[in-house]
Amino acid sequence: MLPSCRTAAAAFLAAGVLSAASCAAPAPLPPQAEFVLGTVCSVNLFEGGTPEAYREVFARLRGLEDLLSANKDGTEVDAVNRAAGLGPVKVGPDALAVARSAMRYAGLSGGAFDPTIGPLVKLWGIGSDDANVPPPEAVRGVLPLIAAGDLKIDEAAGTLFLARPGMRLDFGAIAKGYAADEAAKLIRARGIKRAIVDLGGNVLALGSKGFLKPWRVGVQDPAGVRGGYLGILEISDRTMVTSGVYERFLEADGKRYHHILSTKDGYPIENGLVSVTIVAASSTDADALSTSCFALGPEAGMALAESLPGIEAIFVDSSGSVRVTEGLKKDFKLTSPDYRLAP
């Protein structure tokens, strides 16, 4: 049965996409959602949304999880991690592409973003059943293993190699973005011009809602409940990715420990930011940059975002101040009274 306009609109709202359902157009096939990549992934094809099209997209997302997850046995990333200090591992084009992009952002962020963060992510376990505040000496002990320079990419041989035993790759800060871009490729290849791919808040908007009408996407309120938003962003053929303290955290001893970790001291980063949203053409870039800019902090992070062509950003700090890059001001509207726009 096809959904009523109201049901469809509720689904889009839940996915963070506002007013996407049009009651004038023929009712679209319902959006599909699956738990993949450790989150709820929803895809909405506003045209050409056949069961085969949806199946193909979700099969690709599951396939990428099976290659790129650091949490599962048998993935290519798992094989590279197991061979740390032993030898290079042959991987496919997806893992190579993600590693290449990750290294670019490790460079651009001066190491604040680091795909070899794996030992720290595992030690803290934030978001998993094993989440705990590790003893300071354990944190100090793994810091020398966080070293992007020791991830060796051999493009000709198609291999990845972690040079020292104990090193671990973790693509958690970039692979959802890559997956969104890959989903978009498949959707475009089918000639579909209007779609929303939402991988747990990592939103890629294909085409626009209508003629001269952009999509309207809610920017998550870092202090609010999931689905609550602080403002609305209008985008067409662009992607919006947010990194925030609210996404995954552990509460212990009356303190909150979130999941974006400092490569310098090994602890959740406390720099006054509560979220960074990046708007870009590529979701891989936006995902890597949302984490990179968050990790760099309000000043250096904003400077990095502003230095890159085609990149826009929204930085929210714990005082409720919202800084928006110049190029995004016309597309972003603050709607929550709990926040104020910085000049």
What residues make contact with ligand FAD under the rule CB under 6 A? 37-38, 65, 68-69, 71, 113-114, 117, 121, 127, 170-173, 175-176, 202, 243, 247-248, 259-261, 263, 287, 290-291, 295
* C-alpha to C-alpha distance for 31 and 54, rounded to whole angstroms: 9
> Which of 5/131 has CB closer to ligand FAD?
131
* C-alpha to C-alpha distance for 188 and 195, rounded to whole angstroms: 9
> Which of 32/220 has CB closer to ligand FAD?
220
**Shortest CA distance to 308 belongs to which of 333, 285, 287, 328?**
285
Minimal CB distance to ligand FAD: which residue? 38
> Which of 117/230 has CB closer to Mg ion?
117
| 182 interface partner picked from ligand FAD, Mg ion, none, CB below 5 to 8 A per type | none
For residue 198, what is the DSSP state? Answer: E
Q: Among 6-14, 190-198, 239-247, 297-305, which window interacts with Mg ion (CB under 5 A)?
A: 239-247
Shortest distance in whole angstroms from residue 189 CB to ligand FAD: 22
44 interacts with Mg ion by CB under 5 A:
no
Shortest distance in whole angstroms from residue 240 CB to Mg ion: 12
277 interacts with Mg ion by CB under 5 A:
no
Cα→Cα distances 311→62, 238, 297, Å: 28, 10, 17
| 116 interface partner picked from ligand FAD, Mg ion, none, CB below 5 to 8 A per type | none
* C-alpha to C-alpha distance for 275 and 3, rounded to whole angstroms: 34
Name residue 187's amino acid. I
* C-alpha to C-alpha distance for 202 and 42, rounded to whole angstroms: 10
Cross-strand partners of 273: 317
Shortest distance in whole angstroms from residue 294 CB to Mg ion: 8
* C-alpha to C-alpha distance for 264 and 77, rounded to whole angstroms: 24
Structure tokens at 147: 């070293």
* C-alpha to C-alpha distance for 304 and 326, rounded to whole angstroms: 14
Is 221 exposed, middle or buried, given 0-12, 13-18 or 19+ CB atoms closer than 10 A? buried
Q: Among 17-25, 64-72, 155-163, 241-249, which window interacts with Mg ion (CB under 5 A)?
A: 241-249
Residue in 291, 302, 305, 324 binding Mg ion, rule: CB under 5 A: 291
Count of residues near Mg ion by CB under 5 A: 5
* C-alpha to C-alpha distance for 136 and 84, rounded to whole angstroms: 24
Shortest distance in whole angstroms from residue 98 CB to ligand FAD: 9
287 interacts with Mg ion by CB under 5 A:
yes
> Which of 213/255 has CB closer to ligand FAD?
255
Shortest distance in whole angstroms from residue 103 CB to ligand FAD: 12
> Which of 9/146 has CB closer to ligand FAD?
146
Shortest distance in whole angstroms from residue 284 CB to ligand FAD: 11
Element (H, E) at 244: strand 238-244
Is 308 exposed, middle or buried, given 0-12, 13-18 or 19+ CB atoms closer than 10 A? middle
81 interacts with Mg ion by CB under 5 A:
no
> Which of 69/159 has CB closer to ligand FAD?
69
Q: Among 77-85, 118-126, 142-150, 237-245, which window interacts with Mg ion (CB under 5 A)?
A: 237-245
Q: Cβ–Cβ contacts within 10 Å for residue 162, how many?
A: 26
**Site residues, Mg ion (CB under 5 A):** 173, 243, 287, 290-291
